[in-house]
Amino acid sequence: MIIDAHHHLWDLKKRNYSWMSPDLKAIHRNFLPDDLAKTVEPYRVRGTVLVQAHQSVEETRWMLGLAEGSKLILGVVGWVDLKDPQIGKTLAELKVFPKLKGVRHIIQDEPDAGWMLQSDVMRGLRAVHEAGLAYDLLIKPHQFEAALNLVDHLPAMPIILDHIAKPYIKDGKREPWATHIRQMAQYQHVYCKVSGLITEADHQKWKTGDFAFYLKHVVEVFGWERLCFGSDWPVCLLAGNYGQVFHLPEEILKAGASGKEWMQFMGENARRFYRL
């Protein structure tokens, strides 16, 4: 069963996405479940994980409502205010929806690289864990030191690193990302999504070879058992199409994988991690 472990949906009539300016023409429109189904059907994707794109509980409830009406969306990674003293109550209310599987905060945009280590944030993360939910860790390379500290302090919490931590692919920069992600992979409770890659490259001129080092490195350090495929659709449309994203890991990695390993990467690991 092929599972796309990372995509988004949005309705611009319902809420304003501050990061999405009108000049981002490829994505500045509504993307809803019917659009998703038409997009993934040619690639035999049979399940997806819908991830938050707006930092509001209201969007989380909206996504959960969409998931309830969809056989394709198997799980939702929503947003809650990690600093809220009442986070436990909010999580209990959201868990009425069985497809809530995890939580994410857009840490990459926090100006303080150590934001995630604040005591009230850590308290909130522990509440997420106690609620039986996973955590999507969205960082950029300069936030790795704090992120390593975070995962060290949450040794039992299922954590998945989004977009292989957004290496500077456009600049061809490998270090210190390569060293840091090797350190991250030493924590067995951390998984990694192979997603969001083409938007980190030159949107107009990228080629398959630009990603070879980064993809081979994450396979080396995480192994096939803790990697998940994700499209980051529709954000990926800024630099390509769904088919290009779907086939990119295949072109670089499939020859070096067994049939079982490829099945793990393309669906089984996501099913296990998110308990889909």
Q: What is the pLDDT of residue 96?
A: 97
Q: What is the pTM of this model?
A: 0.97
Write down the CATH superfamily of domain 2-274. Metal-dependent hydrolases (3.20.20.140)
| 48-70 tens-digit pLDDT | 999 999 999 999 999 999 999 99
Per-domain boundaries in the chain: 2-274
Q: What is the pLDDT of residue 226?
A: 98
Residues 6+ apart with CB under 8 A from 211: 169, 197, 198, 201, 248, 252
Residues 6+ apart with CB under 8 A from 218: 164, 181, 185, 192, 194, 227
Q: Which of 13, 87, 33 is nearest to 233 (CA)?
A: 33
Q: What is the pLDDT of residue 57?
A: 98
Q: How confident is the model at residue 257 (pLDDT cuts 50, 70, 90)?
A: very high
Mean pLDDT of all residues in the chain? 97
d(CA 116, CA 91): 19
Q: What is the pLDDT of residue 34?
A: 98
| 211-236 tens-digit pLDDT | 999 999 999 999 999 999 999 999 99
Q: How confident is the model at residue 205 (pLDDT cuts 50, 70, 90)?
A: very high
| 90-102 tens-digit pLDDT | 999 999 999 999 9
Q: What is the pLDDT of residue 38?
A: 98
Q: What is the pLDDT of residue 37?
A: 98
* Contact criterion met (CB below 8 Å) for 178 and 218: no
| 166-188 tens-digit pLDDT | 999 999 999 999 999 999 999 99
Q: How confident is the model at residue 208 (pLDDT cuts 50, 70, 90)?
A: very high
Q: What is the pLDDT of residue 12?
A: 96
Q: In this prediction, what percent of the chain has a pLDDT beyond 90?
A: 100
Residues in the chain: 276
Q: Region 18-41: what's the mean pLDDT?
A: 96
Q: In this prediction, what percent of the chain has a pLDDT beyond 70?
A: 100
| 30-46 tens-digit pLDDT | 999 999 999 999 999 99
Q: What is the pLDDT of residue 166?
A: 98
